Amino acid sequence: MQTNRRDFIKLAGVGLGLSLANASLPAFARATKPPIGRVVIVGGGYAGATAAKYLRLWSLGAIEVIVVEANKQFVSCPLSNLVLGGSKSINDLTFGYDALKANHGIQWVQDTVIAIDSTAKKVTMLRGDLIYDRLIVAPGVDFIYDDLPMLASAEAQQQILHAWKAGWQTVNLRKQLEAMPDGGVFVMNVPKAPYRCPPGPYERVCQVASYLKVNKPKSKIIVLDANAEIISKKGLFIKAWANLYPGIVDYRPDSAVISVDVATKTVTTDFDKVSADVLNIIPPQRAGKIAQIANLTEKDYPWCEVDFLTYESKLVQNVHVLGDSVAAGLPKSAHMATNQAKVCANAIVQLMAGQAPDPIPVFANTCYSFVTDKSAMHVANVYRYDAAKKIMISAEGGGVSLAPSDKEGDYAASWAKNIWTDVLT
């Protein structure tokens, strides 16, 4: 489905701004002292930071917000594949939290949460406790090494990188790529869906191929996809690999990794053994560790079930879950995380004022993929709450690019700047 430029701008605006036409925010005349309640947020990524900002904005400062985040800085997973391609550095994607904290009066604690007592409404950190009225958990993803125990150790993960959380692993994977000889083989896998995206695996193929085409033209990429086919922008990626990177990309569907020899960088699948000069293994994923600690997941089910009107956990009262950890059947993207955060923030403001949350939330999601250093393509969808099914479902609107282009690359860069500004200022 084609989306024209005017509709696309409208769509992106809905996604970043979250129209609240159907939500009547409480009209607080001034910030109440003491606050009407305290919300503690665990995680300062796209979801957690957005929720903190909009809780303060929409309550006019009447809700006390405390964010607990282990990292000093925010590092963006969107665009992080461009570090592998060489058109971005990790510094381009790294930001501070100072403006967010100062502009909105958000209290910030750099610490690690080690326990949550939902009965006592208490968050325990390494250096102390916090009491909350409502808790938001936005922990991202954790990796499942049950089937790949040889990669579970810190030593193995220093050698075989996933680079699925932007940061030092992304930088080191780039260094491994630079050190690979011309004629070498870069092997990467794609885990069974669902998984965090971005960084997107098929975009990563393009970025690595782009680097190899210019710098190591005798090299190739072998892609071991555990899925039966490319699960996002399939036709576009197939054309991009054929037209831009002929002879470089060797894509193999239905090729789940069942074993890895760390010493020899050899991967075993059900059908083959593949040796690599550089090996990039992306493990299967589940809700982040703190969601597990807080008992927000069912046994043997890796994601958190929520009420999509409030994002309150279906298992634990007064605890809300946002972002990649949510069991939604929807993309686990940064854009999706920020929109979930806005719905949740609006709902909490309403609930703390004794009002009902918005009964029909609507938002959009847009995912860009760069196929070269400048050329990109997108897929976009509008999602609307279905009261009968009690889930967010794809509605009218959205679409997918006809082909990648430099103009869409410009749109993608602008999208990134806009969302970073929205989340962090």
Average pLDDT, stretch 205-213?
Answer: 98
Distances (CA, A) of 197 to 40, 248, 277, 335: 26, 23, 25, 10
Q: How many CA atoms lie within 13 A of 76 on its CB side?
A: 29
Using the Cα atoms of residue 116, residue 120, residue 122 and residue 126 in order, give the sign of their dihedral.
negative
Average pLDDT of span 382-394: 96
Mean pLDDT on 121-141: 97
pLDDT beyond 90 at 204: yes
The per-residue pLDDT for 8 is 35
Cα gap 124→283, rounded to integer Å: 29
If you average pLDDT over residues 233-257, what whole number do you get? 98
Q: With CA atoms as reference, report the closest residue to 303 among 282, 316, 288.
A: 288
- Answer whether residue 233 shows pLDDT above 50: yes
Q: Do domains 27-142+285-358+407-424 and 145-280 have the same CATH topology?
A: yes
Those residues whose C-beta lies under 8 Å from the C-beta of residue 115, and which sit 6 or more positions away, are 123, 124, 293
Please tell me the distance from the alpha carbon of residue 267 to that of residue 361, in angstroms, as a whole number.
45
Is residue 341 predicted with pLDDT exceeding 80? Answer: yes
40-95 per-position pLDDT tens digit = 999 999 999 999 999 999 999 999 999 999 999 999 999 999 999 999 999 999 99
pLDDT higher than threshold 70 for residue 250: yes
Domain 145-280, architecture per CATH: 3-Layer(bba) Sandwich (3.50)
Q: Taking residues 311-330, report their average pLDDT.
A: 96
Helices 5-17 and 406-424, axial angle in degrees (round to 10): 20
β-partners of residue 261 are: 266
Question: What's the topology of domain 27-142+285-358+407-424?
Answer: FAD/NAD(P)-binding domain (3.50.50)
C-beta of residue 337 within 8 angstroms of C-beta of residue 45: yes
134/40 Cα distance (integer angstroms): 7
Separation CA 187–CA 266 (nearest Å): 9
Where are the chain's structural domains?
A: 1-22+360-406, 27-142+285-358+407-424, 145-280
57 CB contacts (<8 Å, ≥6 apart)? 104
Dig out the tokens for 222 from the structure: 């072998």
Whether the pLDDT of residue 6 is over 50: the answer is no
Question: Using an 8 Å Cβ cutoff, are 133 and 143 in contact?
Answer: no
pLDDT tens digits along 274-306: 999 999 999 999 999 999 999 999 988 999 999
**Identity of the residue numbered 236:** L
Which residues have a Cβ under 8 Å from the Cβ of 151 and sit 6 or more positions away?
145, 157, 160, 260, 262, 281, 283
pLDDT recorded at residue 10: 38
Cβ-Cβ contacts under 8 Å for 214 (sequence gap 6 or more): none
Joined together, the tokens standing for residue 272 give 């083959």
- The neighbour count for residue 247, using CB atoms within 10 Å, is 11
The mean pLDDT value for 368-392 works out to 97
Residues present in the chain in total: 425
Work out the end-to-end distance of the chain between its first and last CA atoms, rounded to an integer number of angstroms: 34
Nearby residues of 416 by Cβ (< 8 Å), 6 or more positions away: 76, 78, 79
For 1-22+360-406, which CATH class? alpha beta
Q: H/E/C letters for each residue in 14-64?
A: HHHHCCCCCCCCCCCCCCCCCCCEEEEEECCCHHHHHHHHHHHHHCCCCEE
What mean pLDDT value characterizes the chain? 92
pLDDT in tens, 105-127: 999 999 999 999 999 999 999 99
Has residue 225 got a pLDDT over 90?
yes
pLDDT tens digits along 17-48: 443 333 444 544 344 467 899 999 999 999 99
Contact 192, 226 (CB under 8 A): yes
Res. 397 pLDDT band, cuts 50 70 90:
confident
Q: Identify the CA nearest to 374 among candidates 409, 400, 421, 425.
A: 409
Identify the pLDDT of residue 329: 87
Please indicate whether residue 15 or residue 350 has the higher confidence score (pLDDT): 350
Residue type, 5: R
Question: Are the C-beta atoms of 334 and 76 separated by less than 8 Å?
Answer: yes
Contact predicate 209/177, CB 8 Å: no
Q: Which residue in this structure is represented by tokens 């059900």?
A: 270
323, 45 contact by CB (below 8 A): yes
The pLDDT tens digits of the residues spanning 144-177 come to: 999 999 999 999 999 999 999 999 999 999 999 9
